[in-house]
Each structure stands twice: as structure tokens, then as C-alpha cells.
Amino acid sequence: MSVRQTLVLRVNDAEREVRPALHDTLLTVLRDELQLTGAKRGCNHGVCGACTVLVDGRPVRACLTLAHTCRGAAITTIEGVTGIADRLRSAFEDANAVQCGFCTSAMVLVAAALVAERPGASIEEIRTGLSGNLCRCTGYRKIVDAVCAVAQGTGR
Amino acid sequence: MSVESLIGRSLPRLEVREKLTGRAQYTADLYRPGMLHGALVGSPHAHARIVSYDVRAARAAPGVRCVLTGDDFGDHRMGAFIKDEHAIAKGKVRYVGEPVVAIAAETEEQARAAALLVEVRYEELPAILTPEDALAPGAALVHEDLASYFKVFEAVCGGNVCSRTELAEGDLAQGWRESDLVVESEYRTPAQAHVSLEPCGALAEVDPAGRVTLWSANQSVFRIQASVCESLGLPMSRLRCLTPRVGAGFGNKMEAHIQPIVVQLALATGRPVKLILSREEDFEIVRTRHPFQIRVKTGVRNDGTFVAREVEVVADGGAYADDSPGVLGYSLLMARGPYRIPHTRCRGTLVYTNKLRAGAFRGFGNPQVSFATETQIDEIAARLGIDPVEIRRKNALGTDDRWFCGQRLGSIGLAECIAVAERESGWADRAKLASAPGKRRGLGFACTAHISGLLGTGAIVRLLEDGSVVLNTGAVDIGQGSDTVLTQICADALKIPLDRVSIASPDTDGSPYNWGTTASRVTYTTGRAVFAAAREVERQIKTHAAELLECAESDLELRPGGVVGIKGVPGKELPFVAISARAHWRKGGPIIGTNSWVFDQPTFDPKRAVAIGLPFPQIGVYSFGALCVEVEVDEITGKVDARRAWTVADVGRAINRASVEGQLEGAFAQGLGFALVEEVVWDGPRLANPTLMDYKVPTTLEVPYELHAHIVESPDPDGPFGAKGVGEIGINVVAAAVANAVAAATGVRLRQLPMTPERVLRGVLASQPGG
Amino acid sequence: MSALKQVHFPKTPEEAARLLARGDGVRCLAGGASLVAMMNLDLVDPDELVSLAEVAELKGIASLPDGGLRIGAMTRHRELETEARLAGPFAVLREAAGKVANPPVRNMGTIGGVVALADPAADYPSALVAADAVIELASERGRRRVPAREFFVGLYATALAPAEIVSAILLPPAAAGVGLYDKLARVAGDHAIVSVALAVTRRPRGDLGVGLAIGGCGLTPVHRAEADVLLAAGALGDAAARRAGELLAAAADPLNDVRASADYRRLAIPRMVTRAVARAREELGRLG
């Protein structure tokens, strides 16, 4: 049997006790133990980006992060992110930047970190910053526009 | 109360907040009490007889509750066109990865671990890996019993030929005689993977009476219900199909994937069973776009008038027919393009091979043939010294023309699409495009058309006691936005605010039949049913109102905000709540408007054309489009970068402008992948790139930010508010326009996709003096 | 079923190395970007993991007294991508860092992890070889230094001994010069079809020191001292660049894979080298 160990994670500002297997990824724990299913499993090897969450404010792949290496870290998921993310939500809505929605949680989180780090980011910086998050529906234009509206303060 | 129409506005998706807060639930996000997890064992062979199974170790493994082999499934077959596919391999395997054993265990890890313990003995058969193998004399047969399979159309098949289709109009021999120039070339397009971000998955649960509820990632609850029941020999009344949010489809989720297996696991265990495919499995066992080999021969007059065309297609359908006969037939119907070519013959052969099945994929064969035909038009234009846009305009179908094989056109905005793309792209000034050192720029143009339509659809509009409305259509919103569009149509038709209409989730128990979210059809076909059902509600409202207000029904009008009143008499009116309360409690019964219809305009006019093996006797109405792409080619590496694009479509009427733009933009990106990078590669019988590390799709940095979607509105006489479909049209000629742009930039004409740096650079080097 | 039974969090490189000595099934876990992906795909199934996350010494980039840089093995790609001290010829490393996978993965992956894995398609190995960096290794026996040009010995094979970890990447004092990394890939974030890493140093006497290496075209970075000498002697001229490029193309042993054919890679190498050298020449000219 897989070895399980108790672990306290700080997720969305709350301490959560979980008991994952040693090889369980943060994505598995968020989804299967904490029912935070906003992070999606699209490929499980770090390419599609749909599982991206913030660890200590930085976007990382939850599918490539072992849960047991997250002790002490602050994890933020789409369910808990606020601040810039709320402005991004409005901008995504206004720009019609959401289609199927499977990439959306991660897009918002990556964009939130990007705008926090680089207020006033240019379109090229935004395109580069989002280049690790695949969207198969939108062609990205409206997503980039939504992030741009927040970065450059032209959104609502 | 606002009187602004809801039609044509860029309203946000109804469910957008749910998706932006992570609360949208897709199949993988569903958990049921006592739920088991499924896993599959795939075939290691492309073609083999199954001799025996040894599942003892797997059955004894920790947590395992059920192990099913082909022997546990009855001899029932499914298939949209030809019933050739069991729910799980039975007797034979026909492609590497084909599910042969299914396992349900307490955890996903246990199920996958047990899968490794299964032993299956095979007797290998010769693997048919190419159409040439398939058609060779004496080739091993992928389906020995093809002749006895049930077929839903007059399939011309035999040997490893799954179907043959031929469509013809005019007299080819005469056409060649009347041509001043004849150009003939061969083209190849690869298998493309859909790569919906959500992998396919399903969750099935059995109630105490033995009835099954199935949640799955799909494009049609009704197709899934039919396919599961067909392949398991269940009465359809025993299965209820539901759809949570769907993480896009693009054709991949239209027909069944693993739903029959998951249902069988649930029936066998009596427990809920969930199985979500890994990305690798999603690549290996679902379906792809068909690889095509295409020969196109076109005859023209010196003035650029198209005279004759001959097209021969060989499509590799893989191991099962799936939607392939439809794709083949449709591609041939599209192979004349939106042009007048009086003498045309298009023939195609669809072959079975021992590879993953090919099936529906956005464009449905149109992108493949259009790559060939729309690039050949540029070659012809160059040979004749005619502007590529001019030659298209000269031959473009007009209002009085018919589509290939004779169907009438209800509306046609092609000329305007061409004009918009030409104007917005600065086509006339393209010679002035400046290239950076080491780069070459060029513009490429192409035109297209696509149907929206097909088969049956229905809508139910119910007026609730308080005057609000529930709309129920059974159409699956796979992310493209149809829930919003249909709600806009319903609300506008009844002149009530959007938030007074709720749209029911598709449910085979309660929804009216809907063939599916495919064929760019939901806005057009379901929208039409919704509009008609809303009109029926209006009629019933007016019947009540006429009695209450003591006037003729014809004197009444709907007023904004859910009110019916007498025309020209402002005070004489009643709110819907008053009408609905009366209907519910006193007279007439609850107000329910329904509509159902099936698209019934013939594709083919026997007086004008010949059609053999045509899978779609009635197909749909036509949308039109034009596309201009600017590329930059790197002289050093041959890499092609799309810099700007102008994608234009005549959608009849845009119900939701932003959603229409979103369809055009997304289709462009997917087409750009097809044009430049995407190819499912087989290494012998196995996929060489079934991961997102090895199979790449465009990112933000490949899709140009300058991606401009433009809408042309040439209303369809029967469409809801004039609307036609838009889901697929934007992908059809991306590869062709990019190829034409590459040719404009470099002089190199590529006839094979994807246009990799290698193909471009070799072309450039070969065309250089001494190269 | 995973074999993983223990995850260790050592505090020093030596402790980490000692834990690695517990057996063949013990693997070192750096950022996780590669190892966890391989675990998810069932390509590796370690018995124990030694996480380097809490080894303070492995973090950060330090300026050395001699003017050189010591890049801790756990330095993430994102930090290197934005590191101003990676200037002059060492810009090759900064540019390479900015081309690794994609932004979120660059927040996770570490230079030590990439170096130790020695995936031939990775971006750092050719950049480190071009920059003539030195890899510092730690074990219970102490530290040792191996030039990057000797470190990468084969497919996923390095000069690392059993129970030894990569502790740092060392760069000599920065001199005036130019560094660049040109990556040809199918799409952003993919492994290179061909990458060209070039580091040019203008020495005090005015002559040039050149390091040129090719990535994605063999089991290890393709480097030939003769090519470096040719370029230096030829003052980064086009003729020298072409000859150097052809030399490396001949030395390369590329694969046919889903990214490109081996023939194409051999064709592209001299062309990309010529362009990279021309760019370096121009940038060097601008330095005055």
C-alpha cells in the first residue's frame, strides 16, 4: 500500500489537515481530498497549465508539485483568490474571454500573479506570461485583452 | 423596462461566473458516495485475435471490485453510419490501445495497478497501417464481417473499403475541352488531435431498480444514450444521460468514447463508477481528424473562369467507421468550394486501417479538401496572372446559384466576406509589406463555406406560475456558448429579460431530442425550434389575454418585460404572471410551447447531379467566409510565424457578437495548429506523440494577437432572426490561407501539412538557383 | 502502486548526499518539474525522495570575491531569466533560462535539477557549455568541480557519482562580451529542434574568446574547441561562422523525432550558427 502521512497545508488562508500518499501531487490533494476542483487535470505532466495554482504567490503546476513538499507554503486556488483576480474576473466576463472554462481557473491565477508583479504589463508581456497555459477554444485574443484591461487599468 | 433587443449583443456567458470562480463542474469534478474508479487495459497490437484472458491476478488485487473482458459484453455493435464497433474489443483488436479489459476498484491507483496484472493472449494478424496496405490485393481484412453489418445509408463498401462516395455535376470531358489551362496536384493532410482541454470521461450510477444514470463529457446526450444502449443491448428507457459542464469537444465527444464501458462496469458492480482518461489515453483511444490524400485537377479559361474540377480523395478512417462516411461525403460536397464550376466530379474512398479511428473534427473534412482546392486556386491565379482575390470573386457563387449537387442557397454573403477581408487586410497594398532582415512576409487569401443543420431537434418553452420561463432543448453547450444564445433567442422572442429565462441542462429523461452539438447546428436548428416554441407560448398567452381583455388575438402584442397588451392601447395589458396563474389554476392548463423539426431540404437534385454513397440526403444551410493571413517566414530556419489575420464569416445574423467572434478566433487558432505544427504521428502501429509534451498545439505566442474577426450578416430566411452557424467555418481555410501566404512570401508552394520549418526551408532551398 | 516510502528534507548538501547513498531507489527531488512528470507517467518509481527544498545553501545567486557568480543548484529558471548579473557572455544563460518550458514551470524548475537530469533536449546544457561554466558537486567526500564541457557525458548521463548532488553552477568573473541563445522550437515552451548557445568574450588584449554549443542535436551539447578557435580567429566573420557551423553539424548526432528530422537539424545548424554569430558580431560592435 502507498504510504500516507498527515500534512497540514495552508490553502486559501485556512489550515487544512490532509493525509495524502507521499507521491500524491498537490493537484490530487486539492481535488480529491479538499474538493477544490477548480484546478483541472488536463495532462498531468505540466504542459497544459490547467492545474496551475499559486504557491507563495507564484504560479506553479499543481500536477508537478508533490503535496508533501508544500508544507509551510501558502497555496491559493481559484476558489480563494481575490484582489486583482476579482478585477480579472470582471474583465474576462466583459471581454467574453471564457468559453469552455476548463483553462479559465488557471488563466485567472496566472494573470493575477502577472499583473501583481508587473502592473502596466504590455500585450507582449501578457502573451509571454500566459504562454504556458493552453486554451483550445478562444484563440487567446479575448483572454489577452481581458488581462490587458486590468494591467493597463482600462477595465471596469 | 429596456426595449433594447437581446439579439446581436455581446452578452456574457450565462455560466461565466461559475467558470471564473472554479465552481463549474465537469465530469471529473463529480464524486458520488461509494464511487469506484475505472481503468482500462489497452491492446499492445494493432491487429490480433484475442485468444484468451487471464484476469485472476487482477481480480485478486487490492481494492478491485470488477474485471470485465470482451466476454462479459454481448455481441452488440454501435456506429453512427455502420454498426461495426463493440463497446470493448471482442474477438479481435484493431488498433494499439484499443480497450480490451476494464477494471473497477476502490481507488484510481488500485484500478490502474490491477490493469498491469491482466494477461491477454493474442494471435497477431497482419497490421494494415496505410490506405495502400488496406487496398492491396489480398490484404488482411480489418472487418471480415463488414458485409453483414447494419448500415444507416446505402454504403458502397467491401474488403477494407468502408465506404465510397461519388458526386458529379456536368460533363467532365466537356469541361476539360473547354479549359484553356488545367492544373493538377496532389495534397496530403495529417491526422490532427482535438486536444479538448478536458480529457474524455464518464461516471455511471445504477439505481436500485437497475436503471443507469450516466454523466459524461459529450456533445449529445442523445447520441450517447443511443450508442451505449446499442452497444450494450440495453433498452434506451434503462439509461438516462446527463451532461455536466464540458471542457470543449471539437467533434471528439460527439460519438461515444468510454461511456459504454463505464455503464457496464456500473451495472456489473452496482456501484457508481468513474473513469477519466489520462491525456495519453485521450490521444490513443478516442479519435482524430482523418488523414487525407487528395488529388485535385481544375480546368479554367484564360480569363479565370472556372470550368471543370475533378477531385479524388483517399481518407484513412482507422479501425472503426464512426463518423467517417459522413466526413468523406461532406468533404466531397465541399470540394467544389463556394464557386461555380459547371463540370465537377468528386470521388472518395474511405478505408479501414489498424489505427485509432478517425471521426468528426471541426470542419468535418472541409479543412482537408479546402487546403487542396484553395491553394490550387492561387496556383491557377499565378499562372494566369490574375489577382487571387479577383479570381475568387469572379467565380464566387451568387444568389441564383446552387451548391454543388443542386441545393438552393437561402442567403449568401460571400461577396461581402471577400470585400471585408480584402479591405481590412490592406490586400491591395500587400506589395508594400516590409520584411525585417532575414524574414519574408506575405499575405494569403482563401474563401470557404460550411453548412449548419442536419437532423432532428426540439425545444420546450414552459411558462412558470410567476411568468418566468424554463427553456429545455437537450442541446449540450460544450463551451461554445449555445446556452446563452438559445436563452437570448427565447427571451427576445417573448420580450422578457434574460434573467427571466432559465435553461435546463440536457437530460435524456426530460429534454426534447437534439441530435447534437455538431455540424455548426445548434444556433440554427435548435435556435429555430426555440423561436418557434416561444411563438407557441406567445400564441397561448394571447389566447388567454384575448379572453381576459375581450379582444381579438390579432389585436394583441407582447410588450417588454413580460406583458401582453392591446396594440395602441397603453393601459390595456396583463403581465405574464396573471396569464400563467390562470392557465395553471383555472383554465387551459400550464402554458407549454413546443417545437420539433428535422432538416429536410435535399442536398442533391437528381435532375442536376449524380450521387452515389451519399451519407447526407439532407444537410443544412450555408454560411460563407473569407480569410486573409499575413505570415513571416524565417529565411534561416523556414519557420512560419502568423503575424496578423482577418477572419470574416457570413453568419446570417449574429445572435451574440462576441460569441461569434470567439468561434472565429478559436477556429483560427486550431486551424493554425493544423497548418503549421499539429500532426498525430505513428511509429509503426503506435502513436509516437500521445502526450502534450510531444504533440504541440499553438500557445499565446503562436496565435497572432492581431486576430481580427469580422461578421457579415446575410440573413437566412429560416434561421432564428436570420442566424446561420459559425462553429466550424473559421477553421476550414486557415491552412490554405497560410500556405498561400507562404507562397506569396517565398514562392514556395507546399502541398503537405503541417508546414513545418523543414518543409518550408527545403522548398525555399530547392527553388533557389543551384538549390 | 507507487513504491515511494519516504521523503527526506535534508538541510545541507552533504546530508542530502548521504541520504542518496541509502540505495539505488533514492532520487533527488529539486523543483519537481521533470521528476514528478516522470513519476506521473510511471517512467520512474522511486523508493525514497530527497527533497532539496530546505537546503538553504543551494538557494540564490552569490557574487564571488573574484567577480564570478555562484548559482545555487536550487535557483529557479525564473530567477536566472531576470538576473542582471548574467551579463556579457553570460547573457547566454539568462536567455536560455527564459526559454525553458513556460513561465509557471520556470517558477518551479531549477538549474541544478536540469543539469543533474541532463535531458539532451534541455536548454541549459548547451548554454553552460558555451559559457564554459563549472559544475560544483557535493558528496560526503566533499566538493569537487567539473567543467560543464566534461560534465554531460551521454543521454541522461553525467559526471555525477552515486550519492553526489549538483550543488552550484560557477561562472568566472564576467568580462566584456556578448552572450545569446537562439532556440528553434515548434511552439513556445517545446524542447528545441536546434538551439545555438554562443558566448563571446573580448579579452583585455582585444582578442576574442568564443564558446559555441548546439542543443537538441545529440545526446550531449555539441561543442568543438576547433569551432570556437575558428570563430575567434575569424573575428566572428560570416565565413568563419559557416565553417564553424558546418563543423558542428558534422559533429552532431541528432535524432529523427516528432520535432524534426535529423537531416533538417544538420541543415539548420550552420544556418542558425551563422545568424547567431552575425548577431553577436553586431552586438559586440555596439559595445565599442
Flag if A131 and B701 touch (Cβ within 8 Å).
Answer: yes
Find residues 659-688 of chain B whose CB sits inside 8 Å of chain C. 677, 679, 681, 688
Q: Is B109 on the interface with C (CB under 8 A)?
A: yes
Residue B686 CB-density burial (10 A; 0-12 exposed, 13-18 middle, 19+ buried): middle
For residue B761, give how far its alpha carbon lies from the nearest alpha carbon of chain C (Å). Answer: 9
Structural domains in chain C?
6-51 (3.30.43.10), 56-171 (3.30.465.10), 177-287 (3.30.390.50)
Q: Does the predicted TM-score (pTM) go above 0.90?
A: yes
CB-nearest partner of A50 from B18, B197, B662: B197
Find residues 183-242 of chain C whose CB sits inside 8 Å of chain A. 188-189
Q: What is the pLDDT of residues A10-22, one digit of tens each?
A: 999 999 999 999 9
Structural domains in chain B?
16-22+455-598 (3.30.365.10), 31-125+200-276 (3.90.1170.50), 292-453+604-767 (3.30.365.10)
**CA A89 to CA A86: how far, in whole Å?**
5
Flag if B756 and C268 touch (Cβ within 8 Å).
Answer: no
Q: ipTM, 2 decimals?
A: 0.97
Residues of chain A positioned with their CB less than 8 A from the CB of C51: 66, 69
CB-nearest partner of A22 from C4, C32, C41: C4
CB-nearest partner of C187 from B110, B702, B758: B702
For residue B481, give how far its alpha carbon lies from the nearest alpha carbon of chain A (Å). Answer: 7
Q: What is the pLDDT of residues B199-242, one digit of tens each?
A: 999 999 999 999 999 999 999 999 999 999 999 999 999 999 99
Residue B618 CB-density burial (10 A; 0-12 exposed, 13-18 middle, 19+ buried): middle
Q: How would residue A2 be classed by pLDDT, with cut points 50, 70 and 90? A: confident
pLDDT of residue A154 exceeding 90, the answer is no
For residue B50, the cross-strand partners are: B122
Q: How would residue B1 be classed by pLDDT, with cut points 50, 70 and 90? A: very low
**Nearest chain C Cα to B641, which residue?**
C187
Strand bridging mode B556-559 / B306-316: unpaired
Q: How far is CA B321 from CA B43, B87, B155, B733, C264, in A?
A: 19, 14, 11, 25, 37
Q: Is C166 on the interface with A (CB under 8 A)?
A: no
What lies within 8 Å, CB to CB, of B85 at 6+ separation is B77, B78, B79, B231, B320, B321, B322, B357
Q: How would residue B373 be classed by pLDDT, with cut points 50, 70 and 90? A: very high
Question: Is there a common fold for A7-76 and A84-151?
Answer: no
**Nearest chain A Cα to B199, which residue?**
A42
Q: How far is CA C133 from CA B61, C159, C200, in A?
A: 51, 14, 13
Query: Residues of chain B with pLDDT > 70: what percent?
Result: 99
Q: Is the peptide bond before B754 cis (omega within 30 degrees of 0)?
A: yes
For residue B674, give how far its alpha carbon lies from the nearest alpha carbon of chain C (Å). Answer: 12
Flag if A132 and C104 touch (Cβ within 8 Å).
Answer: yes
pLDDT of residue C19 exceeding 80, the answer is yes
Q: What is the CATH number of domain A7-76?
A: 3.10.20.30
**CA B325 to CA B359: how far, in whole Å?**
9
Tell me what pLDDT residue B454 has: 86
Tell me what pLDDT residue B253 has: 97
Contact B730, B745 (CB under 8 A): no
Residues of chain A positioned with their CB less than 8 A from the CB of B699: 130-132, 134, 140
Q: How would residue B2 be classed by pLDDT, with cut points 50, 70 and 90? A: very low
Residue B568 CB-density burial (10 A; 0-12 exposed, 13-18 middle, 19+ buried): exposed
Mean pLDDT for the stretch of residues C133-143: 96
For residue A55, give how far its alpha carbon lies from the nearest alpha carbon of chain C (Å). Answer: 10
Q: What CA dihedral angle connects B353, B357, B359 and B362, to 10 degrees?
A: -110
For residue A23, give how far its alpha carbon lies from the nearest alpha carbon of chain C (Å). Answer: 6
pLDDT of residue B15 exceeding 60, the answer is yes
Q: Which of B212, B93, B209, B82 is nearest to B157 (CA)?
A: B82
Q: What is the pLDDT of residues C152-196, one digit of tens each?
A: 999 999 999 999 999 999 999 978 999 999 999 999 999 999 999
* List of chains touching B (3+ CB pairs within 8 A): A, C
Mutate to test the interface with C, among B641, B758, B764 (most CBs of C within 10 A): B758
Fold assignment, A84-151: DNA polymerase; domain 1 (1.10.150)
Q: Where are the domains of chain A?
A: 7-76, 84-151
Tell me what pLDDT residue B771 has: 47
Contact C70, C168 (CB under 8 A): yes
CB pairs under 8 A between A and C: 89
For residue C63, the cross-strand partners are: C69
Tell me what pLDDT residue A155 has: 64
Residues of chain A positioned with their CB less than 8 A from the CB of C7: 22, 66, 68-69
**CA B562 to CA B498: how far, in whole Å?**
11
CB-nearest partner of A132 from C29, C39, C103: C103
Residues of chain A positioned with their CB less than 8 A from the CB of B28: 31, 37, 40-41
Give the angle B178-B180-B181 at the CA atoms, nearest 5°: 120
Q: Is B702 on the interface with C (CB under 8 A)?
A: yes
Tell me what pLDDT residue B62 has: 97
**Sign of the CA dihedral B50, B52, B55, B57?**
negative
Q: Which of B8, B373, B332 is nearest to B169 (CA)?
A: B332
Contact C71, C61 (CB under 8 A): yes
Mean pLDDT for the stretch of residues B665-679: 98
Flag if B23 and A38 touch (Cβ within 8 Å).
Answer: yes
For residue B26, give how far its alpha carbon lies from the nearest alpha carbon of chain A (Å). Answer: 8
Tell me what pLDDT residue A156 has: 61
Query: Residues of chain B with pLDDT > 90: what percent?
Result: 97
Tell me what pLDDT residue B648 has: 98
Task: Supply the DSSP symbol for B356.
Answer: P
For residue B336, give how far its alpha carbon lies from the nearest alpha carbon of chain A (Å). Answer: 28
Backbone φ and ψ for A117, nearest 5 degrees, come out as -80, -35
Q: How would residue B4 be classed by pLDDT, with cut points 50, 70 and 90? A: confident
Length of chain A: 156
Residues of chain A positioned with their CB less than 8 A from the CB of B701: 127-128, 131
